[in-house]
Every structure is written in C-alpha cells, then in structure tokens.
Amino acid sequence: MPPFKNMEEYQKWKAERLAQQARNAAEKQPQSGPSAFCVKCGKQLPADSQYCSHCGVNQIRPAQIRPAKQPASFKRVMLYTVLAFVGLTILVAIYSNIDRIAPTPPDQTATENAGGNVDRELASAMARATIAHQVEEGLLKMGMDATVTINDAVENKGRIYLVISALTADRPFAHQFVSTPDMATSLKKAGFTDIEFSQCCGLEDEYIGHYDLQTGQFY
C-alpha cells in the first residue's frame, strides 16, 4: 500500500483498486455470461445481472453481442437481382451489336474456278457452312452463348434452315436479327430459305419461331 497524504487520496486509491479487481474478475469469466462485478464501478452484482444496479452500465461486453443474421430470403433476392442485371446487360450488348455479325457469303464463282470442276451443290453447301460459322462466331463475340446449325433434311421439302439456338434468345432478338442490314440478303444468296430460332431450356430447346426469307414473314 503506498503512503497517502490524506483520506481523499486513500479513497481514490481504494476505488481504483476495486475497479481493477472487478475488471480482472470479468476477464476471467466466460464471455458468454455477464460479469460478477460491475465493469465500470466495481460493485458486486448477482450472477444473472445484465445491468449494474448502481451505475446502470450494461455488463455484457460488445464481443458477446452477435449481429443478427440476414434472412435467407434477402440473400436470394439479392442473388436474383444481380443475375437479372447481368442478363439485361448481355441482352443490351447483343441487341446493340447484332448488326455487326451479318455474314459475307464466299464468292462461289471464284471457288468453282479455283477447283476446276467443283460441283455447284458442294460449293453451295460449303458457302452455307461458312456463313453459319460466321454467325455463330459473331454471336459468341457479343457474349451470346449460341449454337448455329443447318437443317436441310429431306422432310423440309427443299427448304434449308439456318437454326439458331441460344440461352438468351427470344422473340425480340429474332426480330432484331432478321432486320439487320444485309443479313437476309447474305443468307438468301447462300441458298438459305428460312431462319429458325429456339431457346436452350435444359435437355430440350423451346421453339421461338422462324423467319421465311422468301416471303419476309415471321412465324
């Protein structure tokens, strides 16, 4: 005990010592429960007291108070909002750049001259395959995961379809695609008669419609 000049210094020293003892006791107790002594004034408290009856200070330390968890529904809403925003951004990019993917059909005359006696049907098939590849590459560069194929089966009765299947394909995209400058002209020169659109939906594609290149009608 240090020497004191007067009673006031002794009382001050005693109060500080009691407070320090209370703090030491509080630190030794588990963090999940309240202190046995007030963390501020050092007064002894019942074991289940949350507030000091002398100074009113909360006895539960901030580390013991856990933030409330956000409900799972809020997280789902945030996830759906982000996905919707990303999807909308992709669609805007596709619609604003679709006029850049109009294919340029190969010069069939040059192809025939280079090969000598190249069959016209083979040259036309090669031209259509080249255009289908150009369209698919153009859509992929725009961020649209698309598959472009050719359907010239016997049951089509002489009609040759350019088939476009994509996850984000819809009716507005189809109308925008067929209205692109030089798109219909390039496809008709290559021998295509129709453009068919479908949307990827799991194991099966969902049919959207097709555009008749000969009549200019969308069905």
Q: Name the strand (E) or helix (H) holding 209.
A: strand 204-212
DSSP string of 25-66?
A: HHHHS-TTS--SB-TTT--B--TT-SB-TTT--B-S-GGG-P
Number of helices and strands (H, E) in the chain? 6, 5
Nearest Cα neighbor of 122 from 106, 139, 101 is: 106
Long-range contacts formed by 90-95: CB under 8 A, 24+ apart: 90/143, 90/144, 90/168, 91/168, 91/173, 93/142, 93/143, 94/139, 94/142, 94/143, 94/144, 94/168, 94/173, 95/172, 95/173, 95/176
Who contacts 58 (Cβ-Cβ below 8 Å, separation ≥6)? 50, 51
pTM for this one? 0.48
pLDDT computed for residue 154 by the predictor: 72
pLDDT computed for residue 31 by the predictor: 46
Query: How crowded is residue 156: how many other Cβ atoms within 10 Å of its Cβ?
Result: 12
pLDDT computed for residue 33 by the predictor: 46
How confident is the prediction along the chain (219 residues), in pLDDT tens digits per residue? 566 677 777 677 777 877 777 677 666 655 444 446 777 787 877 777 777 877 877 776 655 455 566 566 777 777 777 777 776 676 666 666 666 666 665 555 555 554 555 577 788 888 888 888 988 888 888 888 888 999 988 777 889 999 999 888 888 888 888 888 788 888 888 889 999 999 887 677 888 998 999 898 998
DSSP-assigned beta bridge partners for residue 92? none
